Chains A and B, each alone.
Chain A
């Protein structure tokens, strides 16, 4: 989806990054002294969410660039950190939680990179193994079209030994990664889904084949890889189709390059249901057998989740027995039933993933001390 309107926060109008983005977008900009003007512009639309996807605000992040992933105690969390470089996304996935997460959602990019770099420096100075990603409040790679974000972040991570950066995407915007010095500290990651879900629900995203080909390219450039089957959608015949995706994955990518694969089934805040009904009346994604989870989010009935996970784990293990598989936001019952073990058997999920990161991203194991 193309950006049709550019707003610039007056405080950042002379920042080099601002000038560069404006030049690449080739759009006239409206300078605002109060970002509420942008929110008002978006909210005045009949479909504020769609409008927000076409409206870019260049501004400052006045708060933390590094945040803890908003997990919950009810389910096993991986202790991930978020590198908060911007918000929202111009892809238009029906199920996107960001539609109800921000009020209102606005495509914002933070250009105060001196603060970003300073906070990253502090993080590295802690010398603790950290897994951090930009793909929680936005898609990591959509910004490649107009910014130099990856060329800022990837070399910065390359110069330290304790943190790994995960760039998670549904796009193929990877060319900027090719010539960067990464030192294995950046993981190129893709969200994967069945052809049916991608075409029906992940509007404007790249096809499965394109994503996997992009992953193979990144692997050829030496990047470690990760894949996230999340959100998996349960429908008639889904197991067979997800297994085909697994098959295609390992036909395209060497399992030895994969740091981890996560599995997670669709879950959403109840408020998202009405948004999906309104914005995507043709989508049937919200009519599965959902219950209210312990964290208040809607999620599939537990036995149905276990059945799909079991099937996926079995197929992945057949094709890639040594690949690390983990579940996103599930409890010990589901872990035990699906994977045959619980994270505590291996020191907990964060520890499991930290060790994979150490192994694949060549991090310093001393970073585990004190964690």
Chain B
């Protein structure tokens, strides 16, 4: 590698993000540090065949120096004819070997590596040496992440979207993936609930011959999501109830009718009437809690009222 060389910052092609690994855009903290103790570790740049330089590593350092108003910056300059694979390795190593990378940065690293190594196993071997995952299968998955829309990547960085969910969102059109990412961020729901939401919407879309996008734009759903009077937990509950009722209308109606019957029975707090799961079996369960014969006798009267209930008899005979 060449010696340190001062170059004009105006000659650096800041818009070229070919080798960018970092996801961190803010530089004020780094600028403050540089201002106080100077630039300890010069960025690595590469001379281009035309004129000027592209950044290989040190994107934030260069941005911070610009922020501080520097005109020149000390750098290590790579020749224009350097092997691209070397540049890729420098870019990844300079990040991955100095600090833990987040998932997007790992994805960018693997995507970058895959531009110079096409074989999955060879890529995994090199990745491992650079501090990246060594599993070819995992790398194939992770590689896709950095191509996802920004709100999904933001969700990953904010820990509201896991790798598994990001890969599921990648299967949808970009705008649907983004819509889900925004809902997940808003409702702060875990992976299982995220999956449930996606499955419900997907299956409703199939049943009703519409699209998830149309559903997400519907008034009823927007009203729940946009209602400022509801807190996050209430929104989560309402949206789940709404979608479940819409996905399973007959089942929901039956459950509602059963609840109504139970309410009409005005059951004592020591009694519970439980239907068979999904109303599939034949046996209903009646639970009585009592501590003595006199209490049981007291409940007997209430039990008689249940037996005589015409509404319940009608419901059970359906």
Contact = CB atoms under 8 A, between A and B. Distances in A.
B254 A332 contact: no
A302 B278 CA distance: 9
Contacts of A291: 251, 277-280
A111 B248 CA distance: 48
A289 B254 contact: no
Contacts, number: 39
Interface string A230-246: 00000000000000000
B282 interface: yes
B282 A333 contact: yes
Q: Counting chain A CB atoms within 10 Å of each CB, which of B249, B278, B279 scores highest?
A: B278
Q: Place the interface of chain A in its size category.
A: 10 to 19
Contact of A289 (B206, B209, B248, B282): B248
Contacts of B203: 287
Interface in B187-243: 203, 206-207, 209
A289 B249 contact: yes
B282 A301 contact: no
B36 interface: no
B250 interface: yes
Contacts of B250: 289, 301, 303-304
A284 B278 contact: no
B278 A301 contact: yes
Nearest to B249: A289
Contact of A293 (B207, B248, B254, B280): B280
Given A332-B282, A333-B282, A301 B251 contact: yes
Interface string B252-287: 001000000000000000000000011111100000
Contact of A302 (B206, B249, B279): B279
Contacts of B314: none
A294 interface: yes
Interface of A: 284, 287, 289, 291-294, 299, 301-304, 331-333
Given A287-B206, A301-B278, A302-B280, 5 more contacts: A291-B279, A293-B280, A294-B281, A331-B282, A332-B282
12 contacts: A284-B206, A284-B207, A289-B248, A291-B251, A291-B277, A291-B279, A294-B281, A301-B248, A303-B254, A303-B318, A332-B282, A333-B282
Give 10 nearest A-B pairs by CB, closest first: A291-B278, A287-B206, A287-B207, A287-B203, A284-B206, A301-B251, A289-B248, A333-B282, A289-B250, A289-B251
